[in-house]
Amino acid sequence: MLFPDYRPRRMRQNEALRRMIRETALSVDDLILPLFTIGGRNVKNPIPSMPGQYQLSIDNLIKVARKAHELKIPAIMLFGIPEAKDPLGTRAYAKDGIVQKAVQSVKEKLPELVVITDVCLCQYTDHGHCGIVQGDIIDNDATLDLLARTALSHARAGADMVAPSDMMDGRVAEIREALDENDFSQVPIMSYAAKYCSSYYGPFRSAADSAPKFGDRRTYQMDPANALEAIREVTMDIEEGADIIMVKPALAYLDIIYRVREEIDLPMAAYNVSGEYAMIKAAEKMGWIDGSRVMMETLTAIKRAGADMILTYFAIEAAQALSVSNFKK
């Protein structure tokens, strides 16, 4: 098909024609809103590096969750900031932990909203690592029981889904077994299967107060240079019982999303992480870009690469934009 017989601009002349041949359709159904919850009442601490995002006490969390629900966003992901930390991250799996209380409150007020919980120890340990520390080593196998206890405590609180983000080997199987043995076989696992050791996490670590106090996370999170390893990680998590797998970050790893999509037929999520969000917000503030257009282009690219669902701090803004767009149609 060569010019002049083929003229692709014919189908770009107006919005109606473009809509008719559009290959990728972003929907509010694709969005998951991450939220940070903290103790107290009427707390709404701005996160400086993530404009428009906050650490929220449960009463304010409910307000944002309700807004998301009204916009038809199907799910939220909860991250907790505890009142105290210790070497074993005990507040991560405490019955009265901040996430556990938040889950109970959201499900009581908004039972139809899907509540997903992040399962990790980094926000809860005084050293900031995602597992138990022995000397200067992160002890993989000793951490597994604590991760399973955390996931189980979330399920008992009413979580609809648990999402282990720690990148310890074998944690999906350990969590699946704990859930099944305690009559929570209906609770699915969204595994952070291919989670890279990325510099794009900086704003999140500030928001969740989860930066490691020594070293970094390269011994358990993936090397950004590796692609084939992502397939192995994803395959292992599927074999261990994951129901949804995730690639994180999203924007700098679109090739990984695409490769994984070609290899597996399980639902796949991608995390449009804090650094990706912050860069768009910063450039928008400087007047260098149209923030709304770049937001939608970014989310569409993630969907086009193969993601079935997108965790994004833009969820509410994107849902509002999609609502306006659908109204115009």
Residues noted as catalytic: 195, 248
> Helix, strand, coil proportions of the chain in percent (round to 5)?
45, 20, 35
- Does residue 314 contact residue 277 with C-beta atoms inside 8 Å? yes
Contact of 138 with 220, CB cutoff 8 Å:
yes
Q: Which ranges of the chain would DSSP assign to H, the alpha helix? A: 15-20, 58-70, 98-109, 140-157, 171-181, 202-208, 228-240, 254-263, 274-285, 291-305, 315-328
Strand-strand pairing, 161-164 and 137-139: unpaired
Assign 3-class secondary structure to 147-181.
Answer: HHHHHHHHHHHCCCEEEECCCCCCHHHHHHHHHHH
Show the CA angle centred on residue 22, arms to residues 18 and 24, nearest 5°: 150
Cα Rg of the chain, angstroms = 20
Q: Judging by DSSP bridges, how do beta strands 244-248 and 114-119 pair with one another?
A: unpaired
**What is the C-alpha separation between 76 and 74, in angstroms, rounded?**
7
Q: Are 317 and 292 in contact (CB under 8 A)?
A: yes
* Residue in the block written with tokens 């597992």: 131
Is residue 314 within 8 A of residue 50, CB to CB? The reply is: no
Please give the DSSP secondary-structure letter assigned to residue 267.
-
